[in-house]
Structures are given as structure tokens and as C-alpha cells.
């Protein structure tokens, strides 16, 4: 790929660039809209790389027969020490839960790019924010996964890079939760300024170590003890990886006063920022004291940060392209008595004007 400082790229191209820069060597995948371009761009990258005029075969790929196979192939590759990943969407995210559940239980450092599309069933192939629950709690188990929610292409690159590092550092599955709009959009990005050092990998299973990672437990008590250890490790990791953003308008500091708090994630948070600007910069007689809280890690969720902000708020508005999956996360973590309402548009885009209208009612 070209390494000009500024490039005009799509979300899918940014993901591939991030995976290459993270040191990934293998992609397993199955085509599914709106994430197919990740697979096709990876294949193009693998086929076009040259070293000394000869084909560079260090990048590999396998289009599997379905998402189930892609997920389990990925699990096998990481056990051999290969930095690998997959990408999927909608029904494919559902099919991949079996492999993700195994990765949860075996503490495998898998990386999955999820490109959300509308449901239920095959639904639409365009856009949604309806795969939050699947990303965090899909499959059987406790859903001990790290989930990032980027809102623009620069963040998509950054959090994909972090996904590989944290997967291999903490040995938990990591999901980058994108969407169809973000994946298809094209933006001018400067990725060279993002400096992230890659974590080296080594085989989890080799002749010098164990040859099997236990995934079946005979007694309930055994599994309970194992999950308690995993939960403790997950909570320790949370203190190091939790990310969130507070936005109070252009030129405002994060400690600016507000009475109403908007909560949004992913691409919808971009619209929410524009709404906050419009509301705060309105004529003085009409200007509203409003702020935005954006959870960047949906799992583990930034509960401490949420509750500190909620103490100041008279009302919370959750805005999302689903019927309340983010709202439910907020309520699960909210310890402050405050009214929660919102704007819920499953599988539909949300514009800043709609958020302004919501808060002006």
C-alpha cells in the first residue's frame, strides 16, 4: 500500500492497512455485505506485494466455506502463534459465536472486525448498531471480550491496531465494532502520525509447552473456579484499556458545565457532536448546557466515568441506531438516579438535526 502521509481511503482499506501494520499475516473470512471489501482488499494486498521484484507470500488468506469455519480456523492459527483476524457482519456474526465462545473459554487472542447491518435475520445489508449485544455477550459463557466502537476512520485504524496488541497482551478476544456506513465511507486520513508499537507473538501451543488447552470441564465447580479467575483477569485488564470521550463543543474544556447529557457510540457519536455544537453555540437566550459522553470501549464499559458525569446531569439522552442496546448497557452501569430517555432508530442513520430536535422538545 502507498504510505503517503494523507490518503483518501474507505473504511475497508483503513482496516486492511491497520491489520498489515499490526503485523497480521493471515485472514480467514467469508464474503458478507457490508464487510466483504475487507476480505477482497486483503486478498488484493496479499497478491500485489513484491519484495525485490518477487511476490511476497508472507500475507496469506483463506476464503472458507462459511463464517463458522473462518472463526475456528482463526482460533487454530492463533494457537500456532500467527497474528490473524477475520471480518464479518450480521448473520455472519451470529454464526461466528460458536468459535468466539471457544476463544472466550480458551483465552485465545483472536481479533474480529464486525461490520454491523440491520436485522432481524438477513434484514438489510447497509447499516445498524444492532450487534452490540452479540459482540459482547454472544454465545454461551460470560462474554469476557474487549469491544471497541470507533466513530471515524482514524479511530478505526487506531483501535484495530490496539485490538491486536491487547488481544495478545491479555489473551482475551477483541472485537472492533464498526458499521456499514463507516466501512463504505471515504475520508482523508493521516495514519502515519499514529504511532503504536506492535506486541510480538509466540505460539500458545508448541512442542516446548502444552499440547492442549482445556475447553471442557467435567464438574460445574471446576468451571466456576476457572471463570472466577478469568473474570479477575478481565477486571484487572479493564483498568488499563477502558476508553471514553467527553465532548462539550468546539473550544470547550471537558469540565464545562452541562445539565443534559447525550450518550452515543460509534458513528452516531459524530452526529451527536455536531448536535452539541449547534445547541451550545446557539444564541445565548436559547443556548443549552449539553454535553456528550461516548463510551469507546463498550466492553469493559466505562462505568466509573459514566457515573461521575451523571452526577451533574438532570437528564440523560441515549441516541443509537437500535431499539436500546446501548441504553441497556448504560442502565446496567448507572448508579445515579437520573431520568434516561432517548432516540432509538434501529438500522437507520441518525442526523444531528434529529438530536437537536430531541433535546429542544
Shared domain for 213 and 130, answered yes or no, is: yes
Which of 300, 308, 271 lies closest to 149 in space, CA to CA?
300
pLDDT tens by residue, 210-224 = 667 888 999 999 999
3-state secondary structure at position 237: helix
Q: What is the DSSP letter of 90?
A: T
Shared domain for 104 and 39, answered yes or no, is: yes
Residues of the chain with pLDDT under 70: 1-4, 50-56, 208-211, 250-255, 283-287
List the domain range (segments joined by +) for residue 189: 7-241
Shared domain for 116 and 203, answered yes or no, is: yes
Tell me, rounded to whole angstroms, the distance of Cα 99 from its chain centroid: 18
Q: Count the helix, strand and coil residues of the chain and give each as a percent rounded to the nearest 5.
A: 40, 20, 40
Shared domain for 223 and 258, answered yes or no, is: no
pLDDT for position 254: 54
For CA atoms 136, 112, 180, 264, give the dihedral sign.
Answer: positive
pLDDT for position 219: 95
Residue 67: give its domain's CATH number.
Answer: 3.40.50.970
Tell me, rounded to whole angstroms, the distance of Cα 92 from its chain centroid: 16
Which of 85, 91, 143 lies closest to 117 in space, CA to CA?
91
CB 124, CB 118: distance < 8 Å: yes
Shared domain for 159 and 184, answered yes or no, is: yes
Shared domain for 252 and 228, answered yes or no, is: no
Cis peptide before 318 (omega within 30 of 0): no
CB 86, CB 100: distance < 8 Å: no
The C-alpha torsion from 14 through 108 and 83 to 235, rounded to 10°, is 50
Tell me, rounded to whole angstroms, the distance of Cα 45 from its chain centroid: 23
pLDDT for position 285: 42
Shared domain for 354 and 214, answered yes or no, is: no
Amino acid at each position: 500500500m502507498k504510505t503517503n502521509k494523507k490518503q483518501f481511503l474507505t473504511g475497508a482499506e483503513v482496516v486492511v492497512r491497520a491489520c498489515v501494520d499490526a503485523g497480521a499475516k493471515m485472514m480467514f473470512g467469508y464474503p458478507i455485505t457490508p464487510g466483504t471489501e475487507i476480505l477482497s482488499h486483503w486478498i488484493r494486498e496479499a497478491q500485489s506485494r513484491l519484495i525485490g521484484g518477487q511476490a511476497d507470500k508472507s500475507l496469506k488468506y483463506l476464503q472458507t466455506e462459511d463464517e463458522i469455519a473462518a472463526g475456528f480456523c482463526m482460533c487454530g492459527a492463533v494457537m500456532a502463534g500467527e497474528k490473524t483476524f477475520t471480518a464479518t457482519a450480521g448473520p455472519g456474526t451470529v454464526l461466528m459465536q460458536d468459535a468466539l465462545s471457544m476463544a472466550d473459554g480458551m483465552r485465545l487472542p483472536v481479533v474480529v472486525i464486525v461490520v454491523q447491518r440491520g436485522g432481524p435475520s438477513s434484514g438489510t445489508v447497509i447499516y445498524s448498531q444492532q450487534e452490540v449485544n452479540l459482540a459482547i455477550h454472544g454465545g454461551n459463557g460470560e462474554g469476557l471480550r474487549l469491544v471497541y466502537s470507533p466513530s471515524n476512520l482514524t479511530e478505526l485504524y487506531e483501535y484495530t491496531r490496539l485490538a491486536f496488541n491487547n488481544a495478545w497482551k491479555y489473551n482475551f478476544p477483541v472485537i472492533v465494532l464498526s458499521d456499514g456506513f463507516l466501512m463504505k465511507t471515504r475520508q482523508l486520513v493521516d495514519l502515519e502520525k499514529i504511532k503504536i508499537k506492535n506486541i510480538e507473538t509466540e505460539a500458545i501451543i508448541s512442542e516446548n509447552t502444552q499440547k492442549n488447552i482445556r475447553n471442557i470441564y467435567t464438574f460445574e465447580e471446576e468451571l466456576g473456579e476457572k471463570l472466577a479467575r478469568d473474570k479477575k483477569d478481565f477486571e484487572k485488564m479493564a483498568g488499563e484499556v477502558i476508553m471514553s470521550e467527553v465532548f462539550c463543543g468546539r473550544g470547550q474544556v471537558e469540565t464545562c458545565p452541562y445539565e443534559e447529557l447525550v450518550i452515543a457510540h460509534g458513528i452516531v457519536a459524530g452526529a451527536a457532536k455536531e448536535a452539541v455544537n449547534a445547541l451550545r453555540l446557539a444564541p445565548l437566550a436559547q443556548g443549552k448546557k449539553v454535553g456528550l459522553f461516548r463510551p469507546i470501549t463498550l466492553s469493559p464499559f466505562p462505568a466509573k466515568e459514566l457515573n461521575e458525569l451523571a452526577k451533574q446531569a438532570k437528564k440523560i439522552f441515549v441516541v443509537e441506531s437500535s431499539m436500546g442496546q446501548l441504553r441497556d448497557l448504560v442502565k446496567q452501569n448507572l448508579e445515579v438516579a437520573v431520568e434516561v430517555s432517548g432516540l432509538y432508530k434501529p438500522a437507520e442513520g441518525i442526523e444531528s438535526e434529529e438530536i437537536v430536535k430531541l433535546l429542544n422538545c
